[in-house]
Amino acid sequence: MYYSREKTMKLAVFDFDSTLMDGETIDFLAKPLGLEKKVASITKEAMAGRLDFFESLVERVSLLKGLEYQKAVDICKDLPLMPGAYQTVQELKKMGYKVVCFSGGFRIGTTPAKEKLGLDADFSNILHEKNGILTGLVGGDMMFGFSKGDMIQRVQAMLGVSVENTLVAGDGANDVSMFPYASKKVAFCAKDVLKKEANIIVDKKDLTQILNHI
């Protein structure tokens, strides 16, 4: 009797905003309300690690109160993907990686991107709506600064993936918690707070640059 030896499972986890997607979802959503600059300034401070992620997320989402939910969905269908996103995901999958997205942003943004890019899964937050209008409330799996580190351990355990066979890529402070659980730690066009923890640094807006380090 012959047994086929299974390939070693590998995992690649990408942040969404300013990593897989070129920009910040919440900034795009704030634009119709005329609050883009206010929201962007809070986002910048949070990604640099100068604000608590949970508190900044709650504050920013509260500013979206009153936006039509369908308008938010429509905006998120057309978010600009980062140059090289398609090619990078395809190449990683050819190498045997399961490719997933972790985002402190929102499922209405990550799920369309998951479908376009062929990701294996997306983990993100939910914008609460009532009667077709955003209430300014948010909930989900990625609410805290430690959430990505918590989730990556759970996904690794479920798939049977080792730290050695894990790659992570992000740009901001809420990605730091993933880095201890990956051998390949990519800071992509990142804030200094993340670069300090990385062993791969890409400063060009081209995700295919990551492939040069694998």
Contact 148, 129 (CB under 8 A): no
Catalytic residue among 15, 27, 171, 175: 15
Contact 47, 39 (CB under 8 A): no
Annotated active-site residue 27? The verdict is no
How is 92-112 classified by DSSP, letter by letter? HHHTTEEEEEEEEEEHHHHHH
Annotated active-site residue 17? The verdict is yes
Catalytic residue among 17, 27, 141, 175: 17
> Please, how many CA atoms are within 13 Å of residue 188, restricted to the half-sphere of its CB?
30
Strand-pair partners of 186? 169, 200
* Catalytic (active-site) positions: 15, 17
